[in-house]
């Protein structure tokens, strides 16, 4: 049974290893990660967050589940400032500057190369999850951490 690793766990600070081939065990892991992400009301989850140092992420910002193996940010432009949180860092919300428009490549759950052009929340979420694969937490990039009162006053989507 996989569980969310919390800040302080060393796996969150390690660069995750590439997945050599997409097989049944990788697909099962992606399914388990998605299940946990939905149970915790998150919009993204990286394998290191469940204690597995592999380059796997799942994302769903409301457009359906996206599972990526060995995702890479290949191009980016513009900037956007937004609120982020993380299932591995409970009760912390920060303002993070991210690229506004990105292109990501990786393998889908069947091992086929995919290219994703993203903007807005999807771009933010993909960058957040890919950071996890490199041992980077959103708090490392946060311009500032918001107080509970500031979070309550804003009506923005918070990224988990």
SS (H, E, C) the chain: CCCCCCCCCHHHHCCCECCCCCCHHHHHHHHHHHHHHHHCCCCEEEHHHHCCCECEEEECCCCCCEEEEEEEEEEEECCEEEEEEECCEEEEEEEEEECCEEEEEEECCCCCEEEEEEEHHHHHHHHHHHHHHCCCCHHHHEEEECCHHHHHHCCCCCEC
129 is a catalytic site residue: yes
Annotated catalytic residue, options 40, 84, 119, 129 = 129
Q: Which residues are catalytic, by number?
A: 129
């Amino acid at each position: 049974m996989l569980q969310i690793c919390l800040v302080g766990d060393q796996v969150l600070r390690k660069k995750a290893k590439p997945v050599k081939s997409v097989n049944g065990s990788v697909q099962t892991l992606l399914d388990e990660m998605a299940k946990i992400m939905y149970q915790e009301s998150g919009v993204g989850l990286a394998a290191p967050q469940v204690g597995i140092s592999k380059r796997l992420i799942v994302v769903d910002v409301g457009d359906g589940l996206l599972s990526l193996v060995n995702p890479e940010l290949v191009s980016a432009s513009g900037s956007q400032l937004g609120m982020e949180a993380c299932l591995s860092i409970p009760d912390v919300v920060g303002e993070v500057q991210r690229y506004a428009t990105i292109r990501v490549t990786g393998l889908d759950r069947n091992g086929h190369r995919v290219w994703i052009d993203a903007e807005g929340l999807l771009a933010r979420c993909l960058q957040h999850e890919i950071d996890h694969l490199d041992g980077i937490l959103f708090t490392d990039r946060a311009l500032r951490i918001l107080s509970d009162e500031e979070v309550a006053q804003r009506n923005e989507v918070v990224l988990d």
